[in-house]
Structure 1
Amino acid sequence: MKTGVRRVALVGTGFVGMSFAYSMLNQGGLEEFVLIDVNKDKAEGEAMDLSHGLPFGPQKMDIWAGTYEDCRTADIVVITAGANQQPGETRLALVEKNAKIMRGIVREIMKSGFNGILLVASNPVDVLTYVAWQESGLPRHRVIGSGTTLDTARLRFEIGKYLNVDPRNVHGYIIGEHGDTEFPLWSHTTVGVQPIMDVVANNPKFNQEDLEQIYVNVRDAAYHIIERKRATYYGIGMALARIVRAILGDENSCLSVSAYLNGQYGQNDVFVGVPAIVNRNGIREVFELNITEEETEKLTKSVNVLKETLNTVK
């Protein structure tokens, strides 16, 4: 690898991995992109297909199908490989088969001499991020899960549609497990700078019941998408691209990634979706908000569900 060249390696060239790759091709921000898959022909075909779009991209980029050895000098390795969630199947039901897959992948990555940042998107992401951290031996701030970044984006979209405002001007977070026990931080959700609770209280067109339905729609979005098209991938691909750009750009951006808690929010020894400051070193810090008692109880419930599942694969 040439000095100062930004290299990202992607493990898994399925729908999620390639949605992420296509997002990076269009957004730019790196110079070398390595695709790794157990199906080498698939990786080679995807690398060729992506490369043919480079004349229309924002910058020069070298894209190729590689091996785990290419991870040695990568800045970030993004892991999307794993069994897919089936219709009616919860993310947590995937845990045993995907934990085994994750351990094998991380062992191969670390054998290369990799010393960068691991970004995990395979489901159930919070549990598998813990497994990846455990297997890698890397410092906890350099192992990150995609967490609730996609769920947060879904929340912003739904609120924007409800209020008829640009979702980029909606600020708030879904936190907890990326799954059935996730929940919104209504106490820290604003439209522009106005708290959403004030927006609802001051306008008869809006009400709390609608906000709760928005939350349900966000929580269950994956089930509805999987029922209709068997998989979700565009949104998470964009979310992964956003996290990678925050890392490579040393942005110190606040994103709801799956981060290790070591006392924050009263929780320990778990990776879970919470707002965190992300920069070139990984997670600079967990952004601990002053949340309500009800929100604290919901987070505790979500963490307990994750820990019960994690205990089956530790």
Structure 2
Amino acid sequence: MTINYRKVAIVGCGFVGSATAFALMQSGLFSEIVMLDADMAKAEGEALDISHGVPFSKPCDIHAGDYDDVADSSIIIVTAGAAQKPGETRLDLIKKNVGIFKSIIPEISKRNFKGILLIVANPVDILTYAAKQLSGLPDNRVFGSGTVLDSARLRFNLSEHLGVDPRSIHAFIIGEHGDSEFAAWSSANVSGVEISRFCEMRGYFHDHDVAKDNIADEVKNAAYDIISKKRATYYGVAMATKRICEAIIRDEKSILPVSSIQHGRFGLNDVSLSIPVIVGKDGIESEIPFSLNDEEMKKLRESAKTLKEVIKSCDLDVSEE
């Protein structure tokens, strides 16, 4: 089947799926957006509502559909899953959402899908691994939104602290998109200037480590804070998903910390987590020589261990190292 590079599908029309469709409608990246949901009326209503904004944007056919309608999509974005509740960790969602994926992913793969499967539902690392196992698609074409949003939150918080444009900040959150994630401070910089040195330039001469720890904790707890206030997060992740789609559709070769299956990098195997990679029209195109110090390596391995322990409880035929 020929891929339609101007077509995207979104499976799941809850807060995240609908916000993503709205962001993509405004982006002009696609001329067709297909929305799927277990509740067809919900998909139809969201598609109709978003369609009414098309006269203020660029031409785009936005409609509800079924799995037969999405087989030729360039990207299928899966946001379907149970919502994270106040007080509930992302990993608490695992068994419910793996069960949902066991009904969704085979429906996609049986239609000889040739595009990219982008997982956005939580817990995204576990569900990315599940999608790979259930779909049989090549690793480069199955990946998750990972810590793209977390890294954006880090850059935003740093920009507030340092009084500088967040687009000039280069810093990543890596590992799990969740409680074991961490900031890779050893490689963080502001347009080539090391973070601690830039802090001093801004008048912060002491307690750099304390400030960095506080900022990293704010990033890690951002979702919990938002959920406690408004019950869900969706605008930020919708923008992160749009950014990933831009990198794919425009073949940008952008470096993004998406969640991908690991095969030996940093000694990690049979787990999906976020380390920066190059993303383009073929999905994940290559790794980059990303460096970590000893403390960060320890945190990454601990994050991977946490995820692997959960994976083993999910009946996904995980191979042993």
TM-score by length of 2: 0.95
Q: Does structure 1 residue 31 correspond to structure 2 residue 31?
A: yes
1:291 equivalent in structure 2 = 292
Q: How much does 1:197 deviate?
A: 2.1
Question: Is there any run of 5+ residues in structure 2 with no aligned partner, and where?
Answer: 317-321
One-letter amino acid of the counterpart of residue 171, structure 1: H
Deviations 1:155-189 (A, max 9, x none): 00000000011111111100000000000011111
Where does 1:7-26 land on structure 2 (aligned, <5 Å)?
7-26=7-26
Measured in 1, the distance between the counterparts of 2:223 and 2:164 equals 24
Residue pair 2:3, 2:73 contacting (<8 A) in 1 also: no
Measured in 1, the distance between the counterparts of 2:144 and 2:24 equals 18
Measured in 2, the distance between the counterparts of 1:92 and 1:4 equals 35
Measured in 2, the distance between the counterparts of 1:147 and 1:38 equals 25
One-letter amino acid of the counterpart of residue 39, structure 2: N
Deviations 1:267-297 (A, max 9, x none): 1111101101001111001223121011100
Measured in 1, the distance between the counterparts of 2:268 and 2:56 equals 47
Measured in 2, the distance between the counterparts of 1:203 and 1:74 equals 47
SS in 2 for 1:75: strand
1:265 equivalent in structure 2 = 266
1:276 equivalent in structure 2 = 277
Question: Is there any run of 5+ residues in structure 1 with no aligned partner, and where?
Answer: none
SS in 1 for 2:18: helix
Residue pair 1:80, 1:120 contacting (<8 A) in 2 also: yes
Deviations 1:220-258 (A, max 9, x none): 111111100010000000000110111111111000100
SS in 1 for 2:276: strand
1:106 equivalent in structure 2 = 105
2:228 equivalent in structure 1 = 227
2:64 equivalent in structure 1 = 65
Q: How many equivalent residue pairs?
A: 313
Measured in 2, the distance between the counterparts of 1:242 and 1:197 equals 28
2:182 equivalent in structure 1 = 183
Measured in 2, the distance between the counterparts of 1:113 and 1:292 equals 42
Residue pair 1:5, 1:32 contacting (<8 A) in 2 also: no
Measured in 2, the distance between the counterparts of 1:171 and 1:162 equals 15
Measured in 2, the distance between the counterparts of 1:88 and 1:307 equals 23
Measured in 1, the distance between the counterparts of 2:3 and 2:83 equals 37
Q: How much does 1:192 deviate?
A: 1.8
One-letter amino acid of the counterpart of residue 50, structure 1: I
Residue pair 1:252, 1:278 contacting (<8 A) in 2 also: yes
Deviations 1:71-102 (A, max 9, x none): 21111100000001111110001000100101
Deviations 1:38-85 (A, max 9, x none): 11111111111111111111x211111000111211111000000011
Measured in 2, the distance between the counterparts of 1:220 and 1:2 equals 42
Q: How much does 1:116 deviate?
A: 1.1
One-letter amino acid of the counterpart of residue 298, structure 1: K
CA RMSD of aligned residues (A): 1.4
TM-score by length of 1: 0.97
1:6 equivalent in structure 2 = 6
2:319 equivalent in structure 1 = none
Residue pair 2:176, 2:304 contacting (<8 A) in 1 also: yes
Measured in 2, the distance between the counterparts of 1:6 and 1:256 equals 24
Q: How much does 1:264 deviate?
A: 1.0
SS in 2 for 1:224: helix
Q: Does structure 1 residue 306 correspond to structure 2 residue 311?
A: no
Change (3 A) 1:20 1:65: same
Q: How much does 1:204 deviate?
A: 4.2
